[in-house]
Amino acid sequence: MSETNSCTVDVATLYIVPTPIGNLADITQRALDVLANVDLIAAEDTRHTSRLLTHFSISTRTFALHDHNEQQKADYLIEKLQAGTSIALVSDAGTPLISDPGYHLVNRCRQAGVKVVPLPGPCAVVTALSGAGLPSDRFSFEGFLPPKSKGRRDRFQALANDERTMIFYESPHRIMDSLADMLVVLGPERQVVLARELTKTYETIHGAPLGELVDWLGEDSNRTRGEMVLLVAGHRAEKEELPADALRTVTLLVKELPLKKASALAAEIHGVKKNALYKWGLANLD
């Protein structure tokens, strides 16, 4: 059952606050309330965050917390939290910690027994996945691809047989090189969806077999601009075609034997996998 509560900010608490990935209207009322009422906002880029705060007439003081100073500043922020200060953690866009700063601070807060409250909200990974048309029951988020070709090919090779939908972030100036490496490892028929400029004016979600997607991007340089999410269909093993003779044999044997035994004997006779015959029998024989 859902609850409707007025937003109150607790002392000595770190709030994880997602911010819009493009469209400012996507920010939640709860996020605005937290940002307006905490004592301090730890921001990946205070200049970027100040524009967001100004837009919503929020005057809370900000503090810079980014990849280069997070580990050094974590103790300082934990001391403030333990003294009763309430702090909101934000990144430049989306949900903090998702390929953005915040892991070290949240980890240290947990170790120190400081209360951490995560808010739901915008995230490019989930936004792209929900509109991609690829299987979403199982997926893996792989973050940014390595900057060098060898690193990218090694990553794709390690994931080539993964059956989950795979999600990557990529930058405009590397997108074509990354897709070229993906093409070498995964081949032209693997289904890939490019989601760019999500929630913004020129939002594009385009899916195609990898070879066709590379050609499509090459037709117009505008298609390689903006923030990008790549979604790659998982590996699908080709179904083994069972010989008709093996199917006839197991059909006859199962009249006298349990299916498991009949499948094993038929598999030995015809040189096929007994598990494949057994599964076929479960689906097709009474």
3-state SS, 35-54, equals HHHCCEEEECCHHHHHHHHH
pLDDT tens per residue, range 182-223: 999 999 999 999 999 999 999 999 999 999 999 999 999 999
pLDDT tens per residue, range 250-265: 999 999 999 999 999 9
pLDDT of residue 223: 96
Instruction: Supply the pTM of this predicted model.
Output: 0.82
pLDDT of residue 46: 97
Tokens of 108: 């240290």
pLDDT of residue 276: 87
In terms of C-beta density within 10 A (0-12 exposed, 13-18 middle, 19 or more buried), how is residue 87 classed?
Answer: buried
Domains of the chain by start residue, with CATH: 13-122 (3.40.1010.10), 125-232 (3.30.950.10), 244-283 (no CATH)
Given a cut of 60, is residue 240 above it in pLDDT? yes
Q: Is the dihedral of CA 53, 58, 64, 70 positive or negative?
A: negative
CB contact burial 33-58 (16+ within 10 A = b; e otherwise): bbbbebebbbbbbbeebeebbeeeeb
Task: Decide: helix, strand or coil at residue 98.
Answer: coil
What is d(CA 102, CA 106) in angstroms, rounded to the nearest whole number?
Answer: 6
* C-alpha neighbours within 13 Å on the C-beta side of residue 110: 8
- Percentage of the chain exceeding pLDDT 70: 97
70 and 105 Cβ atoms separated by less than 8 Å: yes
How would residue 5 be classed by pLDDT, with cut points 50, 70 and 90?
low
pLDDT, averaged across the chain: 94
What average pLDDT does range 75-91 have in this prediction? Answer: 98
N- to C-terminal Cα separation, the chain: 44
What is d(CA 277, CA 161) in angstroms, rounded to the nearest whole number?
Answer: 24
pLDDT tens per residue, range 140-150: 999 999 999 99
How would residue 1 be classed by pLDDT, with cut points 50, 70 and 90?
very low
pLDDT tens per residue, range 84-109: 999 999 999 999 999 999 999 999 99
pLDDT of residue 239: 64
pLDDT of residue 3: 56
